[in-house]
Each structure stands twice: as structure tokens, then as C-alpha cells.
A = this chain, B = another copy of it.
Amino acid sequence: MNTQHLDHNLLTYAEEWGLLFERWGLPRTAGRIWGWLHVCDPSDQTAGQLVDALQVSKGSVSTNTRLLENLGLVERVGVPGARQSHYRVRADAFEGIMRQRIVAVAQARALAERGLGVLESAGAERKHRLTAKRDFYAFLEREMEELLRHWQGRREEGTLVD
């Protein structure tokens, strides 16, 4: 496989991440960047390189790199002697993903809880129905936090081996 062909396939790969992100309610461009940063060479890319590779506007790259930074997936690093910032996947990016998921579940749990407050004086059956929902999200929240710790432990082990 020649370089051009490889790059084309990698762009397709990035593009598919864009579509996945979209299905998850996130901007397509953020997904393209997230996908691309795992397969690009070099691993650290300037905004300009992202613009060229992914064919999106400077503005969009700026907005979406910031989004990915805020989600804890990507970091901006300075390179000595270079004027531009470079972006790369954070070493602890996957913790960021899990934290995002935990936040989403926590929101659902909190919302169910507020609902229970509203139902205070209502009949038992309705409360029971909603309590089951709250309990499920609470379960998921607790277990995902546990999973996060599990993952962090795994990563530390891995680091020792390096």
C-alpha cells in the first residue's frame, strides 16, 4: 500500500469517527479530529495540519479542538522553537471518556431524583415506577465509577511495564 492510498484509507477512518460522534450527539468535526489523531503521522499535529488533512476550516478546528480539550480527550502542547500549538491524544484520554459517561448518567440519576421530589404526595405506584429508574441510574453511576478505578489500576500496571 503506497502512502497516498494509506492516507486515503486513514481519512476514511477519521470520517467514520465523525459519523459515530454525530450519532452520539457530538460535532462531526470533533470526531474526525479524534479519529485522525490516533492514526496520523506525526502524532502531534498543528491546527494547520488538521485543516489540510481533514479539509475543514480553521474556525472549525479551533472550536472542536477546544471541545476535545474540555472533554479531556486531547491536549495542546508547545514544541520548542515552533510557534504553533500542537494537538495530540492525551495519555489519560480514556479516563476522560469514562468521566463523561459518568457525568451523563449522573445527570439522569439527578433528574429522576428531582422527579421523585415532585411525586412526593402522589400514589405509591408512580413513586415505585420512578424509584426503579432512579435506582438503575444510581447503580450505573456507582459501577462506572468503580470501572474507572479498575481502568486506572490497569493503566498503572501497564505503565510499570514500559
Contact = CB atoms under 8 A, between A and B. Distances in A.
A125 interface: yes
Interface of A: 1, 6, 9-10, 13, 16-17, 20, 22-26, 35, 38-41, 43, 89, 94, 97-98, 104, 107-108, 111-112, 114-115, 118-123, 125-126, 129-130, 132-133, 136, 139-140, 143, 147, 150-151, 154
Contact of A126 (B43, B107, B114, B132): B43
A139 B154 contact: yes
Contact of A39 (B24, B98, B126, B143): B126
A126 to B, nearest CB: 6
B6 A122 contact: yes
Contacts of A118: 6, 9-10, 13, 39
The majority secondary structure among interface residues of chain A is helix
Contact of A38 (B10, B13, B133): B133
5 contacts: A6-B122, A38-B126, A43-B126, A139-B151, A140-B147
Could you say which of A26, A97, A98, A154 has the most chain B C-beta atoms within 10 Å of its C-beta?
A97
A13 B115 contact: yes
A96 to B, nearest CB: 11
